[in-house]
Copies of this chain bind each other. A is one copy, B any other.
Amino acid sequence: MRNPPALEQLVESLRCLPGVGPKSALRMAYHLLQRDRKGASGLALALDNALQVVSHCGSCNTFSEQPLCPLCASTDRDSRLLCVVEMPTDLMMLEQTQAFRGKYFVLMGKLSPLDGVGPREIHLDKLIKRAQNNIVEEVILATNYTVEGEATAHFISELLRSRGLKVSRIARGLPMGGEIEHVDSSTLAQAMMERRLVG
């Protein structure tokens, strides 16, 4: 006696979610089919819709439904400053501080050779093109002050400086091992203001 095939397939499919093992996938499937069929149907719709309409901004690489995201399309930002962050969450945290009025590039990750995340996976070719548009005057590296975030910042600074670009790093106002997503707004604003040139 096994679960019906469609249920087994659902359990298997739920495993694509990060942090979901076989036991919790089974628990989720039971819950959805037994207690929240409306939620399950809404989730299927939301997945299909997101897959269809969400892509990446051609300029800053963040998630976007338009070819150019609202921030990149804005004429209200200083195009001479380009701030590089790991994830869209980091961009949103920085926006909340209102300490930065330039533009962004979102890596969508960080260098992590052990997980197979190299320069290509964090879109460094796209970043190089973006930074070499003859308008950008300073690239501000706002990756996390974790081991991997630091390595990523170092790698990018070498890459951009060898192409004659001015590169700075947000100040270490963050505690060691700290992540931008979890730091308070004023500390983050301080770190942005105290950014230092690299090299």
Evaluate contact between B2 and A92: CB separation under 8 angstroms. yes
Evaluate contact between B43 and A1: CB separation under 8 angstroms. no
Interface size on A, residues (CB 8 A): 58
Q: 1/0 per position for A35-66, CB-CB distance to B under 8 A?
A: 01101111111111111111000000001110
Number of copies: 2
A133 interface contact, C-beta 8 A? no
Evaluate contact between B43 and A16: CB separation under 8 angstroms. yes
Evaluate contact between B4 and A53: CB separation under 8 angstroms. yes
Measured CA separation A13–B36 after assembly (Å): 11
A34 interface contact, C-beta 8 A? yes
Given contacts A1-B70, A1-B95, A7-B63, 9 further A-B contacts (CB under 8 A): A1-B91, A3-B88, A4-B69, A6-B54, A10-B47, A16-B43, A18-B27, A32-B50, A44-B47
